[in-house]
Amino acid sequence: MSKEIIKIEDLKREFIMGSETVHALRGISFTINEGEFVTIMGSSGSGKSTLLNILGCLDQPTVGTYEIDGLKVKDLSRNQLATIRNEKIGFIFQSYNLLARTSALENVELPLLYNSKVSTEERKERATKALEMVGLADRMDHTPSELSGGQQQRVAIARSLVNNPVMILADEATGNLDTRTSYEIMSLFQDLNKQGITITFVTHEPDIAAFSNRTIVLRDGNIIKDYENPKILSAAEELAKLPKQDD
Amino acid sequence: MRLLNLIKIAFKAIVLNKTRTLLTMLGIIIGVASVIAMLAIGEGSKESIRSTISSMGSNMITVRPGSDVRGGVRQERSAMETLTLNDYYAIKEQANLLTYVTPLVNGGGQVINGSNNWPSTIYGVNPEYLKIKITELQSGSMFTDAEVQSAAKVALIGQTVVDNVFPDGQEPIGQMIRFNNIPFKIIGVLEEKGENTFGQDQDDVVIAPYTTVQKRILAIDHLESIIASAISEDDAPEAVTQVSEILRKQHKITENEEDDFHVRSMEELISTFSSTSEMLTILLVAVASISLLIGGIGIMNIMYVSVKERTKEIGLRMAVGGKGSDILMQFLIEAILISITGGILGVILGLASTVFIEKFLNWPTSIALYSIIISFAVCAITGIFFGWYPAKKAAALDPITALRYE
């Protein structure tokens, strides 16, 4: 049995909107093991954004326990949460969220700037390595405006890898990309996963879920399905099947 | 290490927004520059007033007999005969804070040269008088101590007297004139000084040995006053005390008794003028400080906009592990960097405009080091003070909302 990266038990999250209480999550439980590639699916309003925020230590559950890498997250202070985010989680966003007018390398270095244990030389070295891993070794000095959407997302992936997180948390990471680029990115995710990196991918596109090895489906704050993917598609193969583009 | 990183981040943000940063700095630059320039003008005018007074002998000390009470009647000062030559000798010997001392007697009378005559005042002094009054000779020479000893009938005259008793441009030196029918040989002409601050014509004088004036003109053996110069202006107040002590001993005045003399320095005059110019300086600096304050508000304004504009960036920084304190420091350092850079540029501009004012407007200026230090310190404090609120605002943002902010 491999190590449990995420362990959630009877997790509830309620928001108080005026006099009404909104139950975003109504008591869900699951675990994610090291090396898994999990997609969390659900339509809007299903509670997947709330779950993502809690998984990312940006938010705290109302009831229930959440452990990441054996660490109980409940009742931690804002600063302690920031440290967990810095050391254990790699974020990838739909809209890339790169710093404008800042080179790819410096963007990737960003999480390490907030880690006082990493020296300037080590920071640069690790950022360079992360960019090489996503295939952007020749684009390090480019600013986001000089990069395509796919390349920008690769920079963001490199940024999420640079702090050697226990889990990468992607929020609709292919949502802004065309099919071809989406598959390229998914292929990259699959490669990273093969190297042993745990990935949790939040999406509402079923074809993306087909590339992962497990899918959790949320509806109205409950898990309605949690299944191992019987037939994992290879993104690289799917990419090859796409009609050739002329331009 | 961590702080260094934050400084790097802040510096980067400033460099990325050059135009905006420069515009923000403008307020601070103008504020600092004007504080420095205004203080330089204020200090300059103060110094020029000081040097004007100095040229009149700012370190001059005057001893006069005080009003005495005789049989219950307070006597007029001129009626006092308490100041004597012995007092002069005592002061000359004992006071070590004085450079020059002279007894002084004076009297009014008519200067006569043939058919020309002119009412003037004769001052009986010793040769040190010219040094105390900082007066140069236009021609001729001062009388000597020997001439004082022998009560020689020699005199020096001012330009006004020359103009009136030698109207046809005759060379006065070597000529004989009469003052109240006593003949004097003119041995020198004083350099023209014009009117003094009180409107008195300083050239309408006749100067002669005090012995001569005492014996031949006034027929007295007391002195009207003793004037002296202190080693420096700063020593003047202490010299006043010293002279007072000497005279109290000399006059055998007991502890409870009032002085029967007055010792004054020019200091009162100086402090009057200085306070006027100080007032002016304060006013100028107040105006300049307001512009510095407005510069500070400019920083706050821009930082506030910057925080709003970069909400998403703040959210990202928090998501990748930036703590609230990191964000606070980042924006605070940014504000401080802006204000300090503005301060440095302001100092340079202030110094440059001071040189400009001095060169092209011919206003006296004097750059005070303290003005540079103060305005620089105010700058840094302004940065912290006005940067704090926006930085605090940034640090308090919720990462989830900040990330969603469009």
* Model confidence pLDDT, tens digit, residues B88-130: 899 988 888 888 999 999 888 899 988 888 999 999 999 988 8
Average predicted confidence (pLDDT) for chain A: 90
The answer to whether position A188 is within a domain reads yes
d(CA A171, CA A50): 11
Compute the half-sphere exposure of residue B16: CA atoms within 13 Å on the CB side of its CA: 15
The predicted model gives B381-389 an average pLDDT of 86
The mean per-residue pLDDT over the stretch B228-242 comes to 85
Residue A160 counted as domain residue? yes
Report the complex ipTM.
0.92
Percentage, residues of chain B above pLDDT 90: 17
Q: Which of A227-241, B13-27, B266-280, B352-366 has the lowest mean pLDDT?
A: B266-280
Residue B404 at interface with chain A, using a CB cutoff of 8 Å: no
In this prediction, residue B85 carries a pLDDT of: 87
Q: What is the mean pLDDT of residues A90-110?
A: 91
- A120, part of any domain: yes
Amino acid identity of residue B358, one-letter, is E
Mean residue pLDDT of chain B comes to 84
pLDDT category at A217 given cuts 50, 70, 90 is very high
pLDDT digits (tens, 9 = 90+) for B3-62: 888 888 888 888 888 888 888 888 889 888 988 888 888 888 777 777 777 666 678 888
A70 falls within a domain? no
Of residues B202 and A32, the one with the higher pLDDT is A32
Structure tokens at A93: 């966003």
Q: What is the pTM of this model?
A: 0.70
Instruction: Summarize the confidence of residues A203-217 as an average pLDDT.
Output: 90
Chain B residues closer than 8 Å to A87 by CB: 321
Percent of chain A with pLDDT over 90: 64
Predicted pLDDT at A145: 93
What would the DSSP string read from start to end of A136-187?
-GGGTT--GGGS-HHHHHHHHHHHHHTT--SEEEEESTTTTS-HHHHHHHHH
Q: Cα torsion at A128, A134, A137, A141 (round to 10°)? A: -70
First-to-last C-alpha distance (Å) of chain B: 33
Residue A14 lies in a domain: no
Task: For tokens 């440059």, name the residue.
Answer: B352
Higher pLDDT, B73 or B83: B83
Q: What is the arithmetic mean of pLDDT over A220-245?
A: 87
- How far is the C-alpha of A32 from the C-alpha of A40, rounded, in Å? 11
Chain A nearest-CA residue for B321: A86
Residues 104-163 of B with CB under 8 A from A: none
Size of interface A-B (CB pairs under 8 A): 68
Q: Return the structure tokens found at B262.
A: 């007055």
CA distances B400 to A51, A80, B143, B300, B375, Å, are 12, 16, 97, 25, 41
What is the tens place of the pLDDT at every residue in B299-316?
888 888 888 888 999 999
pLDDT of residue A218: 93
Identify the residue with better confidence: B325 or B48. B325
CA distance B145 to B125: 10
- What was the pLDDT predicted at A86? 93
Compute the distance between CA of residue B54 and CA of residue B64 in angstroms, rounded to an integer. Answer: 21
Which B residues in the span 296-325 are in contact with A, Cβ-Cβ below 8 Å?
A: 312-313, 315-325
Q: Please tell me the distance from the alpha carbon of residue A203 to that of residue A40, in angstroms, as a whole number.
A: 6
* Of A59, A91, A101, Cβ closest to residue B320: A91
Identify the pLDDT of residue B392: 92
Per the CB < 8 A criterion, the answer to whether A172 and A153 are in contact is: no
Between A136-140, B109-113, B243-247, B279-283, the lowest mean confidence (pLDDT) is in B279-283
Position B404 scores a pLDDT of 86
Residue B77 — pLDDT band, cuts 50, 70, 90? low
List the structure tokens of B4: 């260094």
A window 21-80, beta carbon within 8 A of B: 53, 56, 58-59, 78-79
Tokens of A91: 């974020």
| Position A91 in a domain | yes
Quote the domain boundaries for residue A44: 35-62+76-241
What pLDDT shows up at residue B1? 46
Total count of domains within chain A: 1
Distance from CA of B383 to the nearest CA of A (A): 24
Is residue B276's pLDDT more than 90?
A: no
Give the residue from chain A lying closest to B313, CA to CA: A99
The confidence band for B269, taking pLDDT boundaries of 50, 70 and 90, is low
- The CATH code of the domain that includes A236 is 3.40.50.300
Rounded distance, CA B226 to CA B5, Å? 73
| Domain contains A54 | yes
Does any CB of chain B come closer than 8 Å to the CB of residue A101? yes
Residue B129 near residue B123 (C-beta atoms within 8 A) = yes
For residue A111, is it within any domain?
Answer: yes
Average pLDDT over residues B137-154: 89
Judged by CB atoms within 8 Å, which residues 168-227 of B form the interface with A? none
For the segment B220-242, the average pLDDT, to the nearest whole number, is 86
Q: What percent of chain B has pLDDT over 70?
A: 93
